[in-house]
């Protein structure tokens, strides 16, 4: 097969050279409600076309590559005095896989345990390309399923208006969970 970026022959969907050249993350930080830090690894504009593969057959492979180059590296270097659960924001399976579950799985490390099927939206509306007003008028209505861990990292693919992560944070707080930080692949607010 050919690398999707440079079109050279490759055993991977994105060759090792292009992964090192174009997919080396640069950390971006912002805060959401209650002063919770959100760490993003890419500018949305840098990986927009790759992110748009999430609803295609190719998406699983692309998200796995992005997760390996960002979240997996983060998890290896992250240290915390106790175990933390990572929870994917709405890891609902669509198109054969869950893109947020792929990201969450990459966080498995000595102090992070990925949990699945723990935070689901009751409202299945898509926010993709929608305005802040539309998002505010159509809350995701997250439901938290029971799990034992107290400390949590929330994981999503893109942060745009903060509304999804803020709603997820509030759902966790209602269940007496402490969100330590949030991780996203890309931040759409960075120019």
What are the backbone dihedrals phi and psi of residue 44, each rounded to the nearest 5 degrees, phi first? -55, -45
Q: How is 159-173 classified by DSSP, letter by letter? A: ESSSHHHHHHHHHHH
CB atoms within 10 A of CB 33: 12
pLDDT for residue 101: 96
**Exposure of 11 in the CB half-sphere (CA atoms within 13 A):** 0
User: Domains of the chain by range and CATH?
Assistant: 25-187 (3.40.50)
Helix (H, G, I), strand (E, B) or coil at 148: coil
Q: Are 3 and 14 in contact (CB under 8 A)?
A: yes
**pLDDT tens-digit profile, the chain (191 residues):** 999 999 999 999 999 999 999 999 999 999 998 799 999 999 999 999 999 999 888 999 999 999 999 999 999 999 999 999 999 999 988 878 999 999 999 999 999 999 999 999 988 877 777 787 887 888 889 999 999 999 999 999 999 888 899 999 999 999 999 999 999 999 998 87
DSSP 160: S
């Amino acid at each position: 097969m050919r690398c999707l970026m440079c079109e050279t022959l490759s055993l991977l969907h994105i060759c090792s050279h292009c992964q090192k050249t174009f997919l080396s993350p640069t950390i971006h930080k912002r805060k959401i409600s209650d002063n919770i830090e959100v760490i993003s690894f890419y500018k949305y504009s840098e990986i927009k076309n790759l992110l748009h593969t999430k609803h295609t057959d190719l998406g699983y492979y692309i998200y796995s590559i992005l997760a390996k180059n960002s979240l997996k590296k983060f998890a290896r270097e992250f240290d915390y005095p106790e175990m933390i659960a990572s929870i994917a924001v709405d890891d609902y399976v669509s198109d054969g896989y869950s893109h947020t579950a792929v990201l969450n799985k990459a966080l498995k490390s000595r102090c992070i345990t990925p949990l699945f099927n723990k935070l689901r939206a009751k409202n299945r509306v898509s926010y993709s390309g929608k305005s802040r007003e539309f998002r505010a008028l159509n809350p995701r209505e997250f439901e938290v399923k029971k799990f034992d861990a107290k400390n949590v990292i929330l994981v999503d693919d893109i942060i745009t208006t903060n509304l999804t992560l803020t709603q997820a944070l509030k759902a966790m707080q209602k269940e007496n969970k402490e969100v330590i930080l949030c991780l996203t692949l890309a931040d759409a607010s960075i120019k």
